[in-house]
Chains A and B, each alone.
Chain A
Amino acid sequence: MKKLKYLDIMEKKMKYDEQLLLTFLEKMYLIRRFEQKVYEFAERGLVFGSTHLGIGEEATSVGTIMNLNKDDYMIATHRGHGQELMKGTSVNQMMAEMLGKETGICKGRVGSMHVTDRSVNNLGAQGIIGASFPISIGVGLAIKIKNLDGRILMSFFGDGSTNQGNFYESLNFADIWKVPVLFICVNNLYGMGTHYCRTCNIEVYKKANFFNIASDVADGNDVVEVYEKTAKLVEMVRKERRAALLELRTYRTIGHSAFDKHPYRTKEEIEEWKKLDPIIRVEEKLKAAESEEKIKDVKKKVDELIEQAGKFAMESNYPKFDASMEQ
């Protein structure tokens, strides 16, 4: 697989207005600071089990979900905090869930990996890799049968999951049943510690074509490209009521789970990708337009929000066991 070249963004024409770029920045920075805060809590032993952070992948949540309406559906991944925040769950309820507190969006029962929020049509995140594919087909089928005009399901998954049998089976169903599902592959090149190239000879987006599913691939660290390419496919899925797949190539500069020391990749590779940081790239576009003050304001606002969410989570109580939980 070819390594992405560093795009010289300074030469790119500014297609978008400052306000939109600031919005991209604010949302990505929110995810970044959220993930960093969770990491901090994990280091302090306050996150039970583990957590899977998407530091470096922020653009794949922002550019995509900004194309969704509130009544569209979403399925997230176990590395899905960015997706869950973008779909609309409050930072407070997210942070509390990370710490297993009763004020969390799932009452603290499940934590980092399984955030579900029905109020914003986030159907949840599974811990079994590949389980989301057949479920996505079911959701798409329901949208079709119930004639939920114009609504779509955006279903996130990673590169590693595309080798589960369910992936191929579900693409076939998406083709024969014609379901309005936009599959988004967050390809961060590694399924845990295994580089994608060791697992499959075919690129993810090409696998979809085999089943007559329209697909595309994008620089997952360029939030503008993610936004544009998602917009095209969202429109297609909405109008034509058939599935599509978008592969976003990105990188997590942090380990698979909170304490993963990632021995499976080199420091050089990580540094290369840090140069392609999605947040820095948007900031540089904005600085080119002299928005330094506005950038500072946005960051300050986000920092306060995260600080306050951290406090909220720390001050909340743990859930109590209740006999009605027995089934």
Chain B
Amino acid sequence: MREISYSEALREAIREEMLKDKNVIMIGEEIGLGYGGVFGVSRGLYDEFGPNQIIDTPIAENSIMGAGIGTALMGMKPILEMMFSDFIAVCFDGVLNQAAKMKFMTAGQYSLNLVIRLPGGEGAGTGPHHSQCLESLFMTIPGIKIVNPSNAYDAKGLLKTCINLGEPVLFFEHKKLYKTKSEVPEEEYSIPLGKGRIVRQGKDLTLVALSYMVNVAIASADELKEKYNIDVEIIDPRTLVPLDIEIIANSVKKTSRLAILEESYLRGGIGAEIGSIICEKYMDYLDSPIKKIASKNVPIPMPASLANEVIPNKDRVVKEIREMFAG
């Protein structure tokens, strides 16, 4: 099977849907003329689809969000691009108070078919305003789906689903994933939300990881097996809302130990949510306390000497998992 990159996979998903339906449009900064998106995701799409489907905007996140909400109210299928996930803060109101709540507040009269794509995560020196993983911030809001593909295959399949979902979605991508490749079929396919996947089978510990951290998990699991004979099972939930808690629970029933690896900040993070659900419902299966391996509660620093301390890496993950088996 052919291998394509994460960004190519996203582009294919968008292109396939735009060819089918003129109502699928992209709105964002630098996505059209010139760049084709700062991460190249929409490269070539402006030439193919023109200014009625690929819409460049001034630097104005509130208006990008408003354009998304307004066009979705009118039955279109807008895909918004926040240049960096951090910029969502500028239009937080649109996400929290209008997009997420539209369906409930209108008693179902309107539901927004709206995808907001967010390139996030540390990108080797991008610094505090251009490096955040903000999924956990939005997890608590009723009315939005949260999707985190970790590879090209998932990226395309999940984006295809989201473009036609009929509900607002925050689609979190990761800078360091854009160039990574995986096998992606030529035929059309889509992946449903709320279905995780087992990345690696194992019997000693369940390691939940998302997005770029899946790669860190794989490297850590390899070392743990080779050097310390600890056999780690890696679960990639793929979507946070809806969350496939069953795949995690089934794994915990098998391994009796759970660690959650995330790049978001530790406090109130994904591990806090998943950990507490497993505690509440599957306490009996646990042989040791649940561990959260997350970015420390520090704005993401620019130099690697600091960033490597803040953001989880293979060495830290191996160390923390070994601690779960000590004594």
Contact of A138 among B69, B97, B104, B144 (CB under 8 A): B69
Given contacts A106-B105, A109-B105, contact A166 B62 (CB under 8 A): yes
Q: B77-115, CB under 8 A of A: which get 1 and which 0? A: 010000000000000011001100011111101100000
* B215 CB-CB contact with A under 8 Å: no
Verify if A142 is at the interface (C-beta below 8 Å from B).
yes
Tell me how many residue pairs across A and B have CB atoms closer than 8 Å: 113
B142 CB–A CB distance under 8 Å: yes
**Chain A stretch 308-327: residues in CB contact (< 8 A) with chain B:** 325-327
CA of A127 to CA of B97, assembled, Å: 9
User: A127-B97, A131-B94 known; A137 and B52 CB under 8 Å?
Assistant: no
- Which chain B residues border A123 with CB–CB below 8 Å? 73, 110
State the CA gap A124–B107 with chains docked (Å).
11
- Interface flag for A134 (CB, 8 Å): yes
Q: Classify chain B's interface size.
A: 35 or more
- B44 to chain A: which residues have CB within 8 Å? none
Q: How many residues of A are in contact with the other chain, CB < 8 A?
A: 39
Q: Given the complex of chains A and B, what is the CA–CA distance between A106 and B144 in angstroms?
A: 20
Which chain A residue shows the least CB distance to B144?
Answer: A327
> Are A124 and B110 interface neighbours, CB within 8 A?
yes
- Contact status B62-A165, CB under 8 Å: yes
Contact of B190 with A by CB under 8 A: no
Contact of B105 among A110, A173, A176, A326 (CB under 8 A): A110
B76 at the interface (CB under 8 A from A): yes
Those of A106-132 within 8 Å (CB) of chain B: 106-107, 109-110, 114, 116-118, 123-124, 126-128, 131
Residue in contact with A137 in the complex, picked from B25, B66, B98, B143, CB distance below 8 Å: B66
- B70 interface contact, C-beta 8 A: yes
Q: A134-B65, A327-B142 are in contact. Are A146 and B105 (CB under 8 A)?
A: no
Assembly CA distance A136 to B73 (angstroms): 10
Contact B93 A138 (CB under 8 A): no
Task: Determine the chain A residues whose CB is within 8 A of the CB of B69 once the complex forms.
Answer: 134-135, 138
Contact assessment for B106 and A116 in the assembled complex, using a CB-CB cutoff below 8 Å: yes
User: How would residues 24 to 61 of chain B score, 1 for a CB under 8 Å from any chain A CB and 0 otherwise?
Assistant: 01000000000000000000000000001001001010
Other-chain residue from B76, B110, B142 in contact with A142 (beta carbon distance below 8 A)? B76
Q: Which of A131, A135, A170, A172 has the most CB of B within 10 A?
A: A135
Pairwise interchain contact B142-A117, C-beta atoms closer than 8 A: no
A145 within 8 A of B: yes
Contact (A142, B70) CB under 8 Å given A118-B110, A126-B97? yes
Q: List 6 A-B contacts (CB under 8 A).
A: A137-B67, A142-B70, A142-B75, A146-B74, A166-B66, A325-B104
- Residues of A with Cβ closer than 8 Å to B? 73, 105-107, 109-110, 114, 116-118, 123-124, 126-128, 131, 133-143, 145-146, 165-166, 169-170, 172-173, 176, 325-327
Beyond A128-B93, A169-B60, A170-B66, 17 additional pairs, beta carbon < 8 A: A106-B107, A109-B104, A110-B105, A118-B110, A123-B73, A124-B105, A128-B98, A134-B65, A134-B69, A134-B94, A136-B66, A139-B71, A142-B76, A145-B76, A166-B63, A173-B67, A327-B104
